[in-house]
Chain A
Amino acid sequence: MSGIIDDHSVINLEGISKNYKVGDIDVNALIDVTFTINQGELIVILGPSGSGKTTLLNMIGAIDIPSKGHVEVLGYNLTKANRHALAAFRRQHIGFIFQFFNLLPTLTALENVEYAILLQKKKNAQEKAREVIKEVGLDERVNHFPSELSGGEQQRVAIARALAKQTDLILADEPTGELDYETGIQILKLLVSAAINENKKRTILIVTHNADIAKIADRVIRLRSGKVISDIKNPSPIDPEELRW
């Protein structure tokens, strides 16, 4: 797969490899991965457990560094950046949604969203947070702590946190992994609408092992054993409501 760089590309990966040692064993999590993602695309990275999809997402999200290769996201060369530059990059440009929500346990739903805005040193953080929380349908649960919310509610707070940052790139690692079917659909709807609402300027990457979810994507990149085995456009993505798994 060659990386074609065009003017609208937001992610450019060239020859990315990631290996690490587990005891005496060398593990090649990623092997020579190369592709480009354009602005406004909704991409699903699909693969079984251990295929390297989360590792790949972590590279793009600047929370991990490749052993080899070049990572460029939104014009930033992440492979050469130091810790502080990476932190600043994540702060301003990345919205991350984790499989296990990773909300701060001592902050309420509203405060978790507010926290992300405050990191960007933006004004009126609380008001903005309220708006976003309302968008995800949790305005009646704003003052609850994560331990008082259901899994779906927590994930919606996590999405709100990512959306509130108003970043160009949202990365979601198995966002429906811990949720039941109905809740999962709701989450996917939120993610899709997040892409659409921004006039297709926001790029969204979803990592999943669930092939059905890939049907909502504009493009599906398949990984197996650390390698990209296919990168196919989806001519007609479907609405999350139509998904069945």
Chain B
Amino acid sequence: MIKISGVSKWYGSFQVLTECSTEVAKGEVVVVCGPSGSGKSTLIKCVNGLEPFQAGDITVDGISVGDPKTDLPKLRARIGMVFQNFELFPHMTVTQNLTLAQIKVLGRSRDEALAKGLALLDRVGLKAHADKFPGNLSGGQQQRVAIARALCMDPIAMLFDEPTSALDPEMINEVLDVMVQLAQEGMTMMVVTHEMGFARRVADRVIFMDAGRIVEDALKEEFFGTPRSERAQLFLSKILGH
């Protein structure tokens, strides 16, 4: 579904990604972890072309992201993305947030978009908040709306960029629950997160990044059992230590 091959990226002379290659199969859940500054957010933003890269290629469903001839907006409409800071549109109600792209990008009718939006809002447990503005919701609620907004587009895959990092601890679980449910329903997911509990529960594979390189790309059991690289061992011992 998602194929990343030999991707390198530079900011000026500083190399942020070095020869990253991996694959996410249909229905697979891949967790990307690593210390901050390791390039994991940058990598996931390359997948839908939000960040350009200078070498290598990424294909999603067989379509090249790096190819200048690719209709990026059309491709992005098929890939859902959830951001660290939610990025709901603050000048629109929850309902408007959910229906905007359905109407403007997919050309759905207002009624159709509304029905879809409300159904997904109900699924993330926020039906009562349809007419509120994002500013009146808690962080956890905003992130669940953001997930519903991405799902409204019937995505073939979902990208999560540290979806719980900006949340208060007591709100993390309500967001993770939605993500676990999504994973169990067979959604193809690439998730940048530090939530190792989430990785243990639903990930098929775990990718560990350090200094712009994919250091470890292993099945979940292998990764948590016997990580090959010393760097990953150290990271795990620190993050699981308490």
Same complex: no
A interface residues (Cβ-Cβ under 8 A, vs B): none
B interface residues (Cβ-Cβ under 8 A, vs A): none
